[in-house]
Amino acid sequence: MVLKRFLQLLKKGAKTLRSFIYYRAYRAYIAPKSEKNIVDEFHELYYYSYNWGGTWDNTFWLGILIRKCPLDLWIYQEIIFEVKPDVMIECGTANGGGALFLASMCDLVNNGKVITIDIEDKEGRPTHKRIKYLLGSSTSIEVVEQVRKLISDKDKVMVILDSDHSKGHVLSELKIYSKFVTKGSYIIVEDTNINGHPVFSDFGPGPMEAVEEFLKENKDFSVDRSREKFYLTFNPKGFLQKRK
């Protein structure tokens, strides 16, 4: 048994060493700048394919359109499993695919509810016992007060921002909803990739610029770049974790 265990450890060590050598050789062959160019080029290919009804304009969760990158959704489920938020606030409902995905993750971890906000009341949105729909602007006093009443002091709270992508609106949301986020949890700013990061370079100041300004004024949050481990993300520098 001892010999067998020793051989298993030796085999595992050899595999680890081989992986390390391959990684170092890869890093020597592809410079970080070249790697970024490759990632950005694929990002643009993937993103702009929506013009032909592809990729994120043809992605569904349980039959409901969800205009998000599947790699980001995988990260969301990792965060939900780790944090196990009691409440998730989603600004920007659209077709309801995002809210349904979040509610499904709540089902899997047997905890949590989703408060989703939009200025439009679309027909055909999914119904789920964990989803609460609010109609109105995410930054209006009335809606914020409704959100406040749905959260208790003991709740762990996570926030996802995906409504109006102008810098001013996103910055207002950050200032408002960051106060709901509990320590160790996240406020995720979606679509920080627009305005040339690397797509839609002519959009104008948007989510990325709002994040940059917000972080200058708020030291309780920091960017968690580990959530970008799959290279392609629609939310670069958008995973903000509350550290304090």
Which of helix, strand or coil describes residue 35?
Answer: helix
Q: How many Cβ atoms sit within 10 Å of the Cβ of residue 55?
A: 17
Rounded mean pLDDT of 144-160? 98
Tell me: pLDDT of 26 over 80: no
**Predicted pLDDT at 32:** 77
- Which is more confident, 66 or 1? 66
**Predicted pLDDT at 202:** 97
pLDDT digits (tens, 9 = 90+) for 185-228: 999 999 999 999 999 999 999 999 999 999 999 999 999 999 99
**Predicted pLDDT at 22:** 57
Rounded mean pLDDT of 134-148? 98
Mean pLDDT of the chain: 92
Q: Where are the domains of the chain?
A: 55-242
Q: How many Cβ atoms sit within 10 Å of the Cβ of residue 185?
A: 22
49, with CB counted inside 10 A (0-12, 13-18, 19+), is middle
**Predicted pLDDT at 142:** 98
Q: For 20-83, where are the E strands, in sequence order?
A: 60-61, 64-65
Rounded mean pLDDT of 153-166? 98
**Predicted pLDDT at 34:** 87
Tell me: pLDDT of 38 over 50: yes
Tell me: pLDDT of 21 over 70: no
Homologous superfamily of 55-242: Vaccinia Virus protein VP39 (3.40.50.150)
**Predicted pLDDT at 4:** 57
Tell me: pLDDT of 95 over 70: yes
Tell me: pLDDT of 44 over 50: yes
- Which is more confident, 14 or 68? 68
Distance CA 126, CA 240 (A): 28
